[in-house]
Structure 1
Amino acid sequence: MAAREYGQYCGVTRALELVGERWALLIVRDLLVGPRRYGELAAGLPRIPTNVLATRLKELQAAGIIRRAPRSRIIIYELTDYGRELEPVVLALGAWGFKAMGDPRDEQVVTPDSMTMALRTAFRPHVAAGLPATAYGTRFGDARLLVRVDGPTLDVARADDLPGSDETVDLAFSAGPGIRRLIAGELDARQAVASGVVEVLHGPDTLLDRFASTFHLAA
């Protein structure tokens, strides 16, 4: 199946042959969030050429990593059990890459699926287990997410409208790419609010400390 072969008999080599082509792991990343239609995958990867997306999907299917499935008269793409085994790999790569992210460039965007996986990467279940259950309404650029933490369990879902004053969330806030500094521990919650990195929309500011404790990655 491999579009590129390295001529070495090695597990790492074979893994790169299967998912090392450009865009392949980002397709896997988005499918780790949930099944997606072709158009949803294209929208979540705005720079991918359509011919490349079609090719990668065929390659990943041939490798047994994803499959096409009919769903209410439409075709969706989803990971197979074999494909879902890539989740710890993707999360580990996200944590490793976080150390070298730096400041964003003007043309770089945050998508709901990329932010969902970033939160899953930064989540500390051992810390969350000792904290009260908390629901966050978050907006990171155009990515609006409902983040629920209940003990060591994390659930992240897309939210069409930021809850704001909705009492179903304990804290609603918006942030730009500078949220990286809060997650990295470069800013505490008070500094993040004072500097404008985070804007609290609803709920007590003190819950931002809880968020920062629950989601943390060392830069």
Structure 2
Amino acid sequence: MPPRQRRSYDQYCAAARALDAVGDRWTLLIVRELLAGPRRYTDLHADLPGVSTDVLASRLKDMEQVGLASRRRLAPPASSYVYELTDRGRELLPVLRALAAWGAPELAERRPTDAVRAHWFALPLLGALGSSSEEGLLEVRLDEGEFHVWVRGGGEVSYGDGPAPGEVDAWVTLDAGTAVAVSRGELSFAEGVRGGRIVVVGEGAVAKVLREG
């Protein structure tokens, strides 16, 4: 079957070209999920409440077509397929971070219909967690689950879903309300630590910087 003809704004404009690739509903949220690491189709569907199977499949095909994502088969015994971002797709991390910062003021009281996943807080917290010049692997724990953050110094950070896959340099524990307050700029990370709303455990340099601000 030939690839679906994608719609275009037909404007010779960098912003319009970008929206040609990622402007469809759900595409950027799929990018958010894949920034956390390779995901199976079923995992993506589970962590994107509200998306239909047809729309998810269509968006993934579109993302492959424009070079944002690829599909590969895992080695045995798994033998399942996963989707992952290409280098071009991973370049959207600062775009998602900026979008999360812009949208953080809208995180008022959680609505009864709102789904939540722990790793959704990674994007708005990356600035605070990655402010250290020290390198390290952080595991962030909320009631809703865990995600992990690699801090590589100089402001370079990335994140993944679930517990940290290696030797952890610092464990960070907070609740969703505190994560929202930090995201909205109502509470600094250092203030959260001093006030006991954020607990940082670890003996490494990165843990010390997070504790002391």
Coarse TM-score class (shorter-chain normalised) = 0.7 to 0.9
User: What displacement does 1:59 show?
Assistant: 1.0
User: What displacement does 1:148 show?
Assistant: 5.9
How far apart are the structure 1 equivalents of 2:116 and 2:18?
27
Structure 2 CA distance for partners of 1:29 and 1:80, relative to 1, 3 Å? same
Q: Identify the residue that residue 140 of structure 1 maps to in structure 2.
A: 142
Structure 2 CA distance for partners of 1:212 and 1:146, relative to 1, 3 Å? farther
Structure 2 CA distance for partners of 1:54 and 1:211, relative to 1, 3 Å? farther
Q: Identify the residue that residue 173 of structure 1 maps to in structure 2.
A: 173
User: What displacement does 1:110 show?
Assistant: 2.6
Q: Which deviates the most, 8-17 or 107-116?
A: 107-116
Q: Identify the residue that residue 164 of structure 1 maps to in structure 2.
A: none
Q: Identify the residue that residue 122 of structure 2 maps to in structure 1.
A: 116
How far apart are the structure 1 equivalents of 2:104 and 2:74?
35
Q: Name the aligned partner's letter for residue 31 of structure 2.
A: V
Kept in 2: contact 1:149–1:155 (CA 8 A):
yes
Match of 1:58 among 47, 58, 61: 61
How far apart are the structure 2 equivalents of 1:88 and 1:202?
28
Structure 1 unmatched runs, 5+: 162-167, 214-219
Q: Identify the residue that residue 104 of structure 1 maps to in structure 2.
A: 110
Q: Name the aligned partner's letter for residue 78 of structure 1.
A: E
How far apart are the structure 1 equivalents of 2:144 and 2:135?
26
Length-normalised TM-score, structure 2: 0.73
Q: Name the aligned partner's letter for residue 145 of structure 2.
A: A
Kept in 2: contact 1:104–1:177 (CA 8 A):
no
The 3-state SS of whatever aligns with 2:106 is coil
Kept in 1: contact 2:34–2:84 (CA 8 A):
yes
Q: Identify the residue that residue 48 of structure 2 maps to in structure 1.
A: 45
User: What displacement does 1:117 show?
Assistant: 2.8
Q: Which deviates the most, 3-12 or 33-42?
A: 3-12
Kept in 2: contact 1:115–1:143 (CA 8 A):
no
The 3-state SS of whatever aligns with 2:177 is coil
Match of 1:12 among 9, 15, 26: 15
Match of 1:80 among 76, 86, 90: 86
How far apart are the structure 2 equivalents of 1:107 and 1:212?
37
How far apart are the structure 2 equivalents of 1:96 and 1:49?
27
Q: Name the aligned partner's letter for residue 112 of structure 2.
A: D
User: What displacement does 1:147 show?
Assistant: 4.6
Size of the aligned set, in residue pairs, is 198
User: What displacement does 1:66 show?
Assistant: 0.9
User: What displacement does 1:60 show?
Assistant: 1.0
Q: Deviations over 1:79-131 (max 9, x none)?
A: 122222222222221222223333322222332432233333x2464x412xx
Percent of aligned positions that are identical: 33
1:128 paired to 2:113: no
